[in-house]
Chain A
Amino acid sequence: MKTILYGWFGAAKEFFAILCKLYRRWRSRKNKGRVVATSNCVPIYNPAFVKPDPLIYDQYYLTSLGLAVTWDNPDIQLYLNGTPVSSSLLAPGTTYEVVAQIWNNSTDSPAVAMPVAFSFLEFGISTVSVPIGSTQVNLGVKGGPGCPAYATMPWTTPTTPGHYCIQVQLQPFADANFNNNLGQENTNVGTAASPAVFTFPLRNSTRRPQTYNFEVDAYIPLAPDSCGSGPNDAKARAAKLARNKRGLFPVPPGWQITITPNAATLLPNQSVPITVSATPPSGFTGGNQVLNIHAFYAGGIAGGVTLTVNVP
């Protein structure tokens, strides 16, 4: 009786909306063709079918977005007996705790028992990765109590003195974005004794000869604004990202940076020592200067290091 008296009106309104939706869908698909299932793969499109989106501060991904990056990874921290230590000041043959902070950009899907692999590399760019170990982490949804999650791995440094780089690789089975799962911590500190000199290897980890060029900047991640300090809509967030764009953080005037060689063409697996010499401007005393050295090749960014010049 309800249908006859007035229910039909609501139904007509809703049915018209469905017709409009189907028309829009038909128009949007018109030039795209239908999704074709391949072999045993059957496409599924439903809002209940969800994937997590685990992520870490991934320099390669962020660079691909045109953003400036630091190799002093804000999501990777080393501890010695519970005290945070800099990855640039590691003692040989010492057991540290590497802690990775992991985020989830999905508001719908947690990632339970997600594998996280830790490895270390000789300090440098594209050097060979040596596994430390793997653990699992339970990552909750964005905004929930399990996000961020922390993966912890003990690591005993090699007995050979030197600088090492830490890599953390998230290994979810399903991921809305697989491109933001590799975080790298790659730092060194040097004292400017007119000049400060750093040497590290650059290796070609690809299967083809590559030519590498360098870029230097002084980027340090900006402190996030307070949430109450202004709008936080998509436009405001885009503006925040734009403030972190690559190219906006030149080395301060007066600093003289020399990279030798300033470009390198390498065969697969070939490596070459790179020397960076940083001379502070006269009058620069009692402070630190961060320098990010990025190596680029035809395929994009190959890697980088963050150097801190300590001027007494």
Chain B
Amino acid sequence: MQLKMNKYQQAKNYLTEKTFSIWLRLVGLTLISASFAETNKPIVISTIFVCVIVIIKGRWIIDEFMGLKHAAPLNRKIVKCYFYGMTTIVGLTVAYSQTSFQSI
């Protein structure tokens, strides 16, 4: 019984461990964003939603996986600015393309 409890505790500890929970959340967000590819008519709001998902995923990878959360602030700021900036440019261009395409 004690052994069983220990194994249960070990499994619980593993599942609630930060790196693993971040990985699970990343997988979940990826599946949600992939579902937008199946929509027949893309709309601007779905583009914004996908870009927000990308930003959240990027933030978790930079902070938790890369370990930049507790690293030199300049390094963290450069990588985050690049990623957030690039995602914003992508989002704005795709949204602009969608609105102009729909108006044709």
User: A and B: partners?
Assistant: no
